[in-house]
Chains A and B, each alone.
Chain A
Amino acid sequence: MRRKPRDADYYRQQLLQGDRVALARAISAIENERADTRAVYQAIAGHANRAHVIGVTGAPGSGKSSLVNALIQEFRARGQKLGVVAVDPSSPFSGGAILGDRIRMSDHGADPGVFIRSLAARGHLGGLSRATARVVDVMDAAGMDIIIVETVGTGQSEVEVMEIAQSVVVVCAPGLGDEIQAVKAGILEIADILVVNKADLPDAERTARQLRDAAGLASSRDDKVPIVKTTAISSEGVAELMQYLDDRFAGFDEARRSDAALERMRKIVTGAASHRLSEWLQRLDTDEFDTICNSVLRGELDIDDAAIASARLALTIESEKD
């Protein structure tokens, strides 16, 4: 027994006016690809692309949710309406999930100017759930000025958030890895703003310095990525972060948006390609693959050549599948 589908008129009248129940139902419709999903899309057509979409990503435990809580506070103080989409992982075994990001955002539990929705990744890799981009559009159409998308705790390759956010904030914390972790491509590379959270910890300055060095090396872009130190629980440094976010949003005219779109699409496609290839490699279990590995064990082949041979093999196998 689930709720009955609504039509486009309902969503036009309620959702576009910012009705919270309608917004919640619309998000479920999109997430579950229900009978009224199309009605939601019809209702919101032409009503999105207004809000400033801010992505917040980073390692588990870096303080993303606490930082989002602090950001909500600041945006609310200015009277802006916020939507927050918080993605947490689903269990690969049961498909269930424990969605706990709200715990850190409980300062805003009854504020009608804030709408927080927890999404389970539902098996989708990349740091978001498959529906996240459209959920953002629905919140936009419902009149949110700011939409914050918090990814699952990410490793190094969950970079999908840059597809949907105009500003990507990558949250780091002291003690999570050395400078080698920092120079690796991937998540640091998508940062528009780097945050060193938990700045009250002793190693924060060192982490910021390492990131400053690394950001120069890892970034494939010309503009310098600002690094902000914050302590989310006391809101220290959050005003500075807000200033950078405001400056970014102010600089987004139409031309810059479309340039950025192409730039981002390049990264999305290469990211998707390498993700796909690594997935294909992980399921390589043919005799030919064992032959390659055995050759390396016997010293007849070096790892580099074996890697290239394996990649070729995986590509061949996968293309024969189609």
Chain B
Amino acid sequence: MTVDQTQASPAPAAQSAQQKVWDAPTRLVHWLFVFCVAFSWWSVENKQMEWHVWSGLTLLGLLVFRIYWGFAGPETARFTQFVKGPGAVAGYLGKLLKPNYRAAFGHNPLGALSVVAILLALITQVTLGLFATDTDYVTPGPLNHLVDGDTADDLTDLHEDFFNILLALIGLHIAAIVFYLVAKRTNLIGPMFTGKRGAENVEGPASGIAPVPLWRFLIGVVLAVGVVFLVTR
């Protein structure tokens, strides 16, 4: 049964169908990013450095998985599906402001820039954190011993400063979501929880993304855990 019977409107069945846009791993990784960034912030402000390091290492694993998933995941998770050139971004901007706008299947070309920017910022921030240290060397980053003290101090300062860039990108991301909700009447938040959205006036196949075999997901988990293990060893 693909028809959403809870929908009150008497629209034809084909139009009240649900389009699957986000797979479970992509959604889970997204919300764990949210949780870990917030928790990393909270833990460092409250001097819970052990938790801060583990939160960062969790982010490292999540990033490894998400990059792998950008090649091995379903259509909407793949970089080749959503990372587009400036022409496509400009074309999307033109479409965005027209009344016959149709929601993109997965990330739109403009949002893709935000995805790439946030992923790069997270990679930068987590990498800096690996080499950073707390002032008393009780809980330094797991790779701090690979750099000398002055370098470690510089990287620690950068780790603190760069968080502002990450915050700015997150602010922009949330602002864009509010824009779509208010100006385009498009709820992007619900699908990031359920994976599905109403299939009216959207691009992409009606049924949405195809399932991905479990073994491909498991390879990603092994990769993620493996990298974290190597870093902490």
Pairing of A with B? no
B binding-site residues for A, Cβ under 8 Å: none
A binding-site residues for B, Cβ under 8 Å: none
